[in-house]
Amino acid sequence: MDVIILATHNCNHRPILERELKKLSIPYRVEYFEDNMDLVEKYQVHHSPNLIVDGKVVFQAQPGQSLPSETQLRQIFGQNR
């Protein structure tokens, strides 16, 4: 499984999303808008952070929207409690 957090360098929410993925033992990598404009264009993202799993955007940040909850992340990754 290829998991990418696509975020800006100054995104305050990225560390929170990273912490949640670590808690669920989900391996991931971080890619930054400023260093990877090709990914920004490919996935048509405009806000930060974004979660991409196996080439599909499963969470796209929107103004005023909260990050996915632990329950939502478990659903995304097929983890049952």
CATH of the domain at 30: 3.40.30.10
Average pLDDT score, the chain:
94
For residue 16, the enclosing domain spans 3-76
CB 45 within 8 A of CB 12: no
Percent of the chain residues topping a pLDDT of 70: 98
**Assigned domain for 81 exists:** no
**Assigned domain for 49 exists:** yes
Taking the C-alpha atoms of residue 54 and residue 33, their distance in angstroms, rounded to an integer, is 18
Give the pLDDT score at 79. Answer: 79
pLDDT tens digits, one per residue of 2-16: 999 999 999 999 999
Whether the per-residue pLDDT at 58 is higher than 80: the answer is: yes
**Assigned domain for 45 exists:** yes
Domain count within the chain: 1
Q: What tokens were used for 42?
A: 């490919």
